[in-house]
Structure 1
Amino acid sequence: MEYNIENLDKEVLIQLYKSILKPRLIEEKMLILLRQGKISKWFSGIGQEAIAVGVTMALNNDEYILPMHRNLGVFTSREIPLNRLFAQWQGKASGFTKGRDRSFHFGTQEYKIVGMISHLGPQLGVADGIALASKLKNKNEVTAVFTGEGGTSEGDFHEALNVASVWKLPVLFCVENNGYGLSTPTKEQYNCANIADRGLGYGMESHIIDGNNIVEVFKKVSELAHSVRENPRPILLEFKTFRMRGHEEASGVKYVPRELMDAWAIKDPVLNFETFLKDNGILNNAENTTIKATIIEEINKHLDLAFAESDIISGKTNELNDVYYKYEYKEVTKKSNSEEIRFIDAISNGLKQSMEQHEDLVIMGQDIAEYGGAFKITDGFVDQFGKERVRNTPICESAIVETAMGLSIAGIKSVVEMQFADFVSSGFNPVVNYLAKSHYRWGQQADVVIRMPCGGGVAAGPFHSQTNEAWFTKTPGLKVVYPAFPYDAKGLLATAINDPNPVLFFEHKGLYRSIRQEVPTDYYTLPFGKASVIREGDHVTIISYGAAVHWALETLENNPEISADVIDLRTLQPLDTDTIYESVRKTGKAIVLQEDSLFGGIASDISALIMEHCFESLDAPVKRVASMETPIPFASQLETQYLPKNTFEEALKTLLEY
């Protein structure tokens, strides 16, 4: 292996050697501990250490790196205390995830490292968000994100590269092409000569680098990082290397031809560099012995610290308290005159006033800039706030949710508009696995609001009319808001944006232009987890949210003899159970009305909660009313039959007669 050490002094070369040697020696120790049963699992990076080390050393310590599970060299090169790494792998408290996630599935703001989730692809879009924040703040920083050649088959890879290219984001996309995705060889992963060739399709600069040559990696990435800081843009880097051990140790390498293993063993990045330094008089045997002994001593010392640490003591309170970032709601009361406006105007006004409250708040979505969004909610926003903060996005829901997560990591709030709530399915993974779990896993809040125009009654068919809140109410870590009135919509949207936790904000399209109400003109907030009792009575408790609230009210208007408490939940997560229980204990009967289809919806959970907590007060079974168990149809007569608006009255009267 040839090393071009021009312009590198001895001190840098020795530091490169120490940095590439340390993860190798740690791995060799871990493999022994694995055989001894002292650790449970190991994902080896032996043979490809030069990439992680070279890239990390080429970046500044305040620049973010998003590594994979084989990139031990990223963590050691950032000089994370080894006892904390060892504790992380053993699920100890001094690790980075409090035992909640394993190995390298963690992040740390202290060291500007953001670890992967097992789905691999989402971190690429997260890197886009971090890089976007750097660009918005004029920080002249580069973000580096890793993936393997297998990960380039995921849609997230294509979406992330496309967004980065369109927005000229300072990201180094580092692909470790190590021959196999678990046991699947590259010839079964992609059908182009080189992954770097794909850069052309994205209008992106790309390079192929010898991933086993620490000097080439360090010099080339240093050069490119300097260039990207000066001229922000994404670059695709393909590092040719090889995985010398199994996907994880239990996998073995029987599926790899022996001659291939032998060929790559000759290219060992650590041994080759060590030999080069010795042959060129840069390192002698005594110095090398001292370096190795010092690292081994550090490893053993920190292993002793980690093994001596007590196991985590399980505590339900601690676990539950860490699902959400702690947020103390601050009430901002109305101070102004009010005006009668539509539901859609309340959303628009609330969003605009939040943009004024938070000077770096970014909103992203398809067609939201000059066009003003599919429903014109952001019409005129570009003129007031500019295109940096009001960003049209490509059609790539997954990457944009991930970008929002990256913005949060870098300290910027964002609002993502799903053009229709139905389309969130294309970004489902990052919502439920990244946004929802980040705080619980490593203490990182996801300061993201996702606006969800939803609901039927507008003859839009099965892909533009779903009300899919139940996909998210069952996911710990997410908050779900679903207002029914303009006043609530404006105040709750302000709170959603203030809240540093991820919020799904549902906006029923059928209410946009059909419901009007007096709404304060000034900025104000309303609390989460507090339902609104909008009508009081003694016969029955009606529990609902969204457009269904108005169906319930219409039914009562048509039946003035029915005396009912009507509870508008307003937020579904957190859920105001106190108000529900208090009402049910008073009336003795409860009916839950939802627009979503019945099975698995939130009405089922509310019914179960009432049965568990108010059973002795009930005079009848809890009744649930919902849409048919079919996808929502297009034709108006079919949609009318599908929705529960017309069946609610009969169900209510039947319950009252029980």
Structure 2
Amino acid sequence: MRYHIGDLDHKMLLTLYKSMLKPRMIEEKMLVLLRQGKISKWFSGIGQEAISVGVTQALKEQEYILPMHRNLGVFTSRNIPLYRLFSQWQGKQSGFTQGRDRSFHFGTQEYKIVGMISHLGPQLGVADGIALADMLRRKKRVTAVFTGEGATSEGDFHEALNVASVWNLPVLFCIENNGYGLSTPTKEQYNCEHLADRAKGYGIESRIIDGNNILEVYTKVDELAKAIRKRPRPVLLEFKTFRMRGHEEASGTKYVPDKLMDKWAKKDPIGNYESFLLENAVIDQETIDKLKTEISQEINENLKLAYDEPEIIFDESKELNSVYKDFEYQHIENNSNKKNIRLVDAISEGLEQSMYKHNELIIMGQDVAEYGGVFKITEGFISKFGKSRVRNTPICESAIVSAAMGLSINGMKAIVEMQFADFVSSGFNPIVNYLAKVHYRWGQNADVVIRMPCGGGVGAGPFHSQTNEAWFTKTPGLKVVYPAFPDDAKGLLNTSINDPNPVLFFEHKGLYRSVYGDVPEEYYTLPLGKANLVKEGNAVSIVTYGAGVHWALDVLEKHPEIEADLIDLRTLQPLDMDAVFQSIKKTGKMIVLQEDTLFGGIANDIAAQVMEHCFEYLDAPVVRVGSLETPVPFAKALEKNFLPKERFEKELLKLIIY
């Protein structure tokens, strides 16, 4: 292996050596502990230390790094106290996830490290968002994100590179090409000679780097980082290396040919570099022995701290209170002059006034800039806020949701417009596995609102008509808002944007231009988790939301003899069950109406809770009404019978005479 010292002094040469030696010695200790059953799992990076260390040493302390399983050198090079790492791996309180996640599935703002999730790909888009925030603030910084060659087959990889290219983001995409994705060799993972060649398709630069040569890694990454700070742009780096142990220790390496293992063993990044330093009198054996003794002592002392720490004791209240970041709602009264406007106008007003209130709020979505979005909600925003804050995106929902997460990590707020709520399925993974879980896992909030134009009744067919709120009400960590009236929409949207937690904000397309209301002209807020009693009566409780509120109003107008409590839930997570319980205790009868198909919907949970907590108050079974168990049809006659409005009327009349 050839080493070129260049301008590096002896101090830097030694720093690189020490920085590789420490993670290697920690790993060797962890493998012993794994065999002793003192840690549950281990993903070894032995043989790949030069990449983690070289990249980290080339970046500044305030620059974010997003590592993967085999990047222990990132954490140790940032000088994280070892006892905290050991506590993390043992599921102790001092670990970064307090026992809620394992291995390297964590982040820390203190050390500017953002750990991975097992789905791998989303963190590439997160790096885009972090870099975007730096670029918008004109901070000359680089973000480095790691991935393996196997994860480059995921769509998130391609989406993230494309977004970074289109937006010219200062991101180093670091591929550790170590030969195998678990047991699958590279020849079965991709069909090109070098993964770096893929950069050409995105119009970005790339480099191929010997991942076992610490000086090559450090000097080339250092050179690139300095250049990117001056002229922001993404660069794809392919580090050629090898995985000397199993994907994780339990999987072993029997599938790897012995000759291949022998070949790469001779390229060990630490052994070769150590020999080079000895030959060039940069270090002597006595110093090496002393250094190993010091590291060994540090490891043992910190292990003792972790061992001595008591096991975590389950505290139900603490666990439940850790799902969301604390949010102190500030009520701003709606006492200004009112004007009669449509739902679509109220949402647009709320967005505009929130953009003035939060000068680091970014709107992202397909066609939201000059075109104003397909529903024209952001029309005219470019002239007021500029293209840096109102950003057209490529068609890549997953990467954009992930980028919104990155903006939040770097201290900004983000709004993502799904062109249609149906399309959220393409961004489902980062919503339910990243945004929803990140605060519970390591205390990082996702300050993101995802706007969801939804609903049927407009002849848009199966792919533009779903109301899919139940996909998200089931996922702890998300909030779900679903207004039915213009004044509610504006006030709840403002609060959703203020809330530092991820919010799915559903906007019914059929109500956009058909429903009018008196809406305060100035900025105001409404609390999440508070239902609205639209009509009051003693005969029956009608519980619904969205378009269901207006269907219920139509039916009640048609049947003025029915005295009903009509409860508009407004938010589905948190859900105001107190308002529901209070009403059923008064009326004794309840019907729950939802536009979504019935099975698995929110109506089921409401009915179940009423049965559990208010059974003795019921004079009839709780009735649930929803759409037909089919995809949303296109033809008018089919869609009319798919939707539950007429069935609701029949069921309501039956319930009244029960």
The residue type paired with residue 347 of structure 1 is I
Aligned residue number for residue 147 of structure 2: 147
Aligned residue number for residue 517 of structure 2: 517
SS in 1 for 2:164: helix
Matched, 1:493 2:486: no
1:497-534 superposed Cα distances (whole Å, 9 cap, x missing partner): 00000000000000000000010000000000000001
Aligned residue number for residue 641 of structure 2: 641
5+ long unaligned stretches in structure 2? none
Aligned residue number for residue 561 of structure 2: 561
The residue type paired with residue 493 of structure 1 is L
1:151-173 superposed Cα distances (whole Å, 9 cap, x missing partner): 00000000000000000000000
In 2, Cα distance between equivalents of 1:435 and 1:182: 27
SS in 1 for 2:371: coil
Aligned residue number for residue 407 of structure 2: 407
Matched, 1:175 2:162: no
SS in 2 for 1:651: helix
1:237-267 superposed Cα distances (whole Å, 9 cap, x missing partner): 0000000000000000000000000000000
Aligned residue number for residue 104 of structure 2: 104
SS in 2 for 1:110: helix
In 2, Cα distance between equivalents of 1:10 and 1:59: 19
1:275-334 superposed Cα distances (whole Å, 9 cap, x missing partner): 100011111011111111110110011001101110001010000000000001000112
1:168-188 superposed Cα distances (whole Å, 9 cap, x missing partner): 000000000000000000000
In 2, Cα distance between equivalents of 1:263 and 1:290: 30
In 2, Cα distance between equivalents of 1:516 and 1:608: 34
How far is 1:647 from its partner? 1.0
In 2, Cα distance between equivalents of 1:33 and 1:580: 53
1:348-373 superposed Cα distances (whole Å, 9 cap, x missing partner): 00000000100110000000000000
The residue type paired with residue 357 of structure 1 is K
How far is 1:656 from its partner? 1.2
Aligned residue number for residue 329 of structure 1: 329
User: What are the within-5 Å matches in structure 2 for residues 488-637 of structure 1?
Assistant: 488-637=488-637
In 2, Cα distance between equivalents of 1:37 and 1:558: 70
Aligned residue number for residue 118 of structure 2: 118
SS in 1 for 2:261: helix
In 1, Cα distance between equivalents of 2:37 and 2:619: 59
Aligned residue number for residue 136 of structure 1: 136
Aligned residue number for residue 60 of structure 1: 60
How far is 1:336 from its partner? 1.5
In 1, Cα distance between equivalents of 2:518 and 2:125: 41
1:583-635 superposed Cα distances (whole Å, 9 cap, x missing partner): 00000000000000000000000000100111000000000000000000000
How far is 1:35 from its partner? 1.0
CA-based RMSD of the aligned residues comes to 0.4
1:366-405 superposed Cα distances (whole Å, 9 cap, x missing partner): 0000000000000000010000000000000000000000
Aligned residue number for residue 14 of structure 1: 14
The residue type paired with residue 619 of structure 1 is D
Aligned residue number for residue 386 of structure 1: 386
The residue type paired with residue 174 of structure 1 is C
1:80-106 superposed Cα distances (whole Å, 9 cap, x missing partner): 000000000000000000100000000
Aligned residue number for residue 270 of structure 1: 270
In 1, Cα distance between equivalents of 2:54 and 2:644: 61
Aligned residue number for residue 164 of structure 1: 164
In 2, Cα distance between equivalents of 1:372 and 1:56: 41
How far is 1:6 from its partner? 1.2
1:447-506 superposed Cα distances (whole Å, 9 cap, x missing partner): 000000000000000000000000000100000000000000000000000000000000
TM-score by length of 2: 1.00
SS in 1 for 2:369: coil
User: Which region of structure 1 is more displaced relative to structure 2, 33-42 or 498-507?
Assistant: 33-42
Q: Provide the identity percentage.
A: 72
Aligned residue number for residue 419 of structure 2: 419
In 1, Cα distance between equivalents of 2:577 and 2:561: 27
In 2, Cα distance between equivalents of 1:157 and 1:311: 38
The residue type paired with residue 255 of structure 2 is Y
How far is 1:210 from its partner? 0.2
How far is 1:335 from its partner? 3.3
**Deviant stretches of 4+, over 6 Å:** none
Aligned residue number for residue 91 of structure 2: 91
User: What are the within-5 Å matches in structure 2 for residues 28-427 of structure 1?
Assistant: 28-427=28-427
In 2, Cα distance between equivalents of 1:478 and 1:38: 34
In 1, Cα distance between equivalents of 2:4 and 2:443: 42
In 2, Cα distance between equivalents of 1:238 and 1:32: 32
In 2, Cα distance between equivalents of 1:253 and 1:229: 41
In 2, Cα distance between equivalents of 1:396 and 1:223: 31
In 1, Cα distance between equivalents of 2:502 and 2:411: 14
SS in 1 for 2:110: coil
Q: Kindly tell me the number of residue pairs found equivalent between the two proteins.
A: 658
In 2, Cα distance between equivalents of 1:284 and 1:359: 56
SS in 2 for 1:255: coil
SS in 1 for 2:263: helix
Aligned residue number for residue 650 of structure 2: 650
Aligned residue number for residue 472 of structure 1: 472
In 2, Cα distance between equivalents of 1:6 and 1:522: 63
SS in 2 for 1:157: helix
In 2, Cα distance between equivalents of 1:480 and 1:269: 50
In 2, Cα distance between equivalents of 1:548 and 1:280: 78
In 2, Cα distance between equivalents of 1:449 and 1:145: 24
5+ long unaligned stretches in structure 1? none
Aligned residue number for residue 431 of structure 2: 431
In 1, Cα distance between equivalents of 2:535 and 2:336: 26
1:202-256 superposed Cα distances (whole Å, 9 cap, x missing partner): 0000000000000100000000000000000000000000000000000000000
SS in 1 for 2:496: helix
In 1, Cα distance between equivalents of 2:260 and 2:287: 33
SS in 1 for 2:648: helix
TM-score by length of 1: 1.00
User: Which region of structure 1 is more displaced relative to structure 2, 644-653 or 163-172?
Assistant: 644-653
In 2, Cα distance between equivalents of 1:383 and 1:645: 42
How far is 1:48 from its partner? 0.5
The residue type paired with residue 406 of structure 1 is G
How far is 1:657 from its partner? 1.4
